[in-house]
Amino acid sequence: MVASVRADEDARYGYIRLDEVIPKAKSVKAKLSVHKQGPKGPKVSSILVGQDDDLHVKSGEMSVYKDGYVITEINATPGDEHIRFANGLRINMGKEVGGVQDDEQRVQIRLTIQKHLDKELMLHGLGKGIKVLSLFFIDRVANYRTYDTDGYSMPGPFARIFDEELAALAQVEKYRPLTWLQDRENLDKVHNGYFAKDGKGKLKDSRGDTQADDEVYNLIMKEKERLLSMDEPLRFLFSHSALREGWDNPNVFQICTLREMGSEQERRQTIGRGLRLPVDADGLRVMDDSVNRLTVIANEGYAAFADALQKEYERDCGVTFGKIPMTALRRLSVMDGDTEKSIGRDKAEALKAALVEQGYLDHDGRILPAFDPQRQGFRIVVPPALETEGITSADVIDLLSKYRMERHVQKDKDERPNPFNKQVLLNPDFKVLWDQIKPRTRYRIGFTTEELVKTAAKALKEMPVIKKPVVHVDEAALPVGGGGVGTRMIASSSMDGGSTVTAIPDIIAYLQESTGLTRSTLALIIKRSETMQQFINHPQRYLDQVAAIINKEMARLIVDGIEYERIMVGPDAEWEMHRLEESEKLVDYLTSLKVDHPDKTPYPYIEYDSQVELEFARKMDSREDILVFVKLPKWFKVDTPVGTYNPDWAIVKRDDVGEKKLYLVRETKGTKDMNKVRPDERDKIRCGVKHFEALGVDYDYAVNGDEV
C-alpha cells in the first residue's frame, strides 16, 4: 500500500526551498526549488542561482518574487549552509518558506504512527505475538538528533514531532488496549535512530557505504532478536540511508520516507526493507496475506510513486508489468478427480487468441485498457473447450489481474467510514434471517474400522504402480580443436537405479505417525491392498503415497458420516447480532462494492474476494426480489474436521409468486461441478450442507446471482 502525503503548493506565497549549496572555484552556487511560470501556469521547478541573481527574473517574472528577492549571500560553510536575500530573508539548507514541507512531514509522521497502532490492534487479535516495527528514512541526522554547545544530545524536529503526535494518539480511545502506549513515562523508549558516529560518538550523516555505516548495519543485525521481542519497547526506527542489501529484520510493516527518493535512494531499495515475511513469537514465518501488507507513507503522489517504482523494476530487473506470459496461461488449472492439472500449451494458445480477439490483450500479451474488471457487466468469453473443463470468466480475470502493477502497488485506503446501518437490524426480515442462521453447532463423526480398511485398501490397489527409479546415461566425446571444446554424442542408455534394501524400516510406525491410526488397522490395510511388493522398488515414495491415500480416504469417510447438532445452551450457543456493529471502518475499499440500495444490507460497502463475489453482490443489490442480503463476516465460522468454514452470503428473497419469503444461505463458486472444486473446499461445503440441514436453513452454492 502507498499512502501519499503531498499538499498542493500555492504560488501566492513565494515558495522557496534551499536544496543544495555548490562551492565553485570562483563562486558559490545554490540549487533552489521555486515556483516558476510555465505554459500551463506556475509549478515547482529546480533552478541554479548565484550571487546577485534575481528570482523575479529566474522564475519567469512571477510577481511573488518582485520585491527584494535578489540574492545577497550564499554561504557554503559545512553545517551552516544558507542563502540570504535583499529583503533580509534567510533560508537554511533543506528548509523552505512559503511552502508546506513542514506540514507534510508532520502528517507523514502522524499517519505512520497511526498505521502502526492500527496494525498492532489487528495483530493483537490474532494472538500470535507478531511484533510490529516501523521505519523512517530521513535526509539529515540533525532532523532527528542535534547537539548543544556542550555536546549534549537534544531531540531534532522529527523526534519532537514524533513525541507530540504519539502522545496525542495515545489519548484515542480505540488504542487503549495497547498497554505500552499507556506507559507515558517510557514512551521515549519506543523510538531510536540508527546512524553512523564520528570519533567523539556523535551521530553524523553518511553516504551509506562507509565503515561507519557497516557498524550501524552490524548493530541493527545483532539486535534483531531483541527488536522482535515483545519485551523490548523499541518499535519505531529512524535511519539516514536505506541500509545495505541483506538487512533482514522481517517485521517492518510501515516505511515513511521523510526524504526525497532519487537515484541515490531508489524505491526498490527502500521498500525492500519491508518486503521480508514477518515472523511470530515462535520465529515462524507468517503466510497470511491479510497480515503481509507493507504500507509506504511516501512524500510523493501515489501515481508518481507507482510509475517510478515500475520503471525501476523494468529497467534493473528485466521484468515487464502489464504483460502476461504464456507460462502463466498454461498454468491455469482444472480439477481431474482429486488432483489439479494445468490446461497445457494448446488450450493456453486458444485462450490467448480469444483474449486478443476480445481486445483485452495485444499479440505480445500486454494487457490493454479494455481489461477493466471494475466496469459493470465486464466479462471475458472463455473458449468452449476450456469452459467444459471448468475454466470460468472469473478465473481468467483473477489471473490477468495479478499481472497488473496496480495489484501489487496499491493506493492506501482512505479512512473512509463503512458505517453500520442500524435500521437493518430493525428490519423484521433481517431479524428472522439472523435468528435462523445464528445457532452454532457441534459435530460428531462415525465410521467403523472395517469401512476404513475396506475403502483404503481398495484405493491403494488402484494407485499408480510405484516403479524402480531409472537413471539415464549419456556418453559424449569432447574434441578439442582450434575453435575450442566441442561435444559429440556417442551413446545414450537407461539402467535400473534401484538399490538393494539392506535394512527394512518400521513401515507401520512411519504410517502411524503420518495418519494417527493404530498399528493393527494399518497392518490390515497394507495386507488387503496387496501392494507391499512395491515398497522394495522405492521405499520412501511408497510410504509417502500410502500415507497420503489413507489420509484422503479417512477424511472422505469423516465428512460422509458427519452429523451436526445445535448447541442449545452456553456462551457459544449462537452468534450475537451485535457483533455486526464492530466493523466501523472498511478494511480495503479498493476491493469493495458501494451498494445502490443501502437499506438492503448492513454496510454501504461490501468487500469481495474474487470476481465471482463482485458480480454476485451486484446482482443481489439490483434484484427487486432480494429484500435483504449480507456478506457473512469472517468470524461467522462453522467447525469442520478439515478446518473452519466461513459461508459467503445470507439472503432474504420473495418467492416467484410473491406470496412468501425465503431465508437462504449461499456459497459462491466459479463452477457448479463440485468435482472441479479443490477437495478441501469441497469437503468444507459438504460440511456446510450438514450444518445448515441441522438448522433447517436452505443452503446451496451458486455461480452467479441469477441462480438464487
pTM: 0.48
Average pLDDT value for the chain: 77
Taking the CB of residue 705, how many other CB atoms lie within 10 A of it?
Answer: 22
Helix crossing, 539-560 with 449-461: angle to 10°? 130
> If you average pLDDT over residues 629-657, what whole number do you get?
88
Q: For the stretch 332-362, what's the b/e string if a residue is b when 16 or more beta carbons lie within 10 angstroms of its beta carbon?
A: bbbbeeeeeeebeeebbebbbebbeeeebbe
Percentage above 90 pLDDT, the chain: 17
Higher pLDDT, 326 or 586: 326
Contact in structure between 50 and 74 (CB atoms under 8 Å)? yes
Residue 301 has pLDDT above 50, yes or no: no
> If you average pLDDT over residues 327-341, what whole number do you get?
74
Beta strands in 480-622 (DSSP E): 480-481, 484-485, 488-496, 563-566, 592-594, 605-607
Q: Which pLDDT band holds residue 185 (cuts at 50, 70, 90)?
A: confident
Q: What is the pLDDT of residue 320?
A: 59
Distance CA 195, CA 206 (A): 8
The boundaries of every CATH 3.40.50 domain in the chain are 102-317
* Structural class in CATH, domain 422-440+567-707: alpha beta
CA proximity to 47, closest of 35, 65, 39, 38 = 35
Distance CA 348, CA 340 (A): 16
Report the CATH number of the 102-317 domain.
3.40.50
Q: What is the pLDDT of residue 640?
A: 86
**Which residues make beta-bridge pairs with 237?**
135, 192
Q: What is the pLDDT of residue 328?
A: 82
Q: What is the pLDDT of residue 627?
A: 93
Say if residue 1 is exposed, middle or buried (CB neighbours under 10 Å; 0-12, 13-18, 19+). Answer: middle
Higher pLDDT, 446 or 414: 446
Q: Which pLDDT band holds residue 288 (cuts at 50, 70, 90)?
A: confident
Per-residue pLDDT tens digits for 54-68: 998 998 888 778 878
Highest mean pLDDT, choosing among 90-99, 495-504, 570-579: 570-579
Q: Which pLDDT band holds residue 303 (cuts at 50, 70, 90)?
A: very low
Higher pLDDT, 26 or 479: 26
Per-residue pLDDT tens digits for 244-258: 444 556 788 888 877
Q: What is the pLDDT of residue 208?
A: 44
Residue 342 has pLDDT above 60, yes or no: yes
Higher pLDDT, 207 or 497: 497
Q: Which pLDDT band holds residue 650 (cuts at 50, 70, 90)?
A: very high
Please give the C-alpha separations between residue 165 and each of 375, 541, 545, in angstroms, as whole numbers: 41, 60, 58
Name the grid cell of 346: 494448446
∠ CA 220-222-226 to the nearest 5 degrees?
85
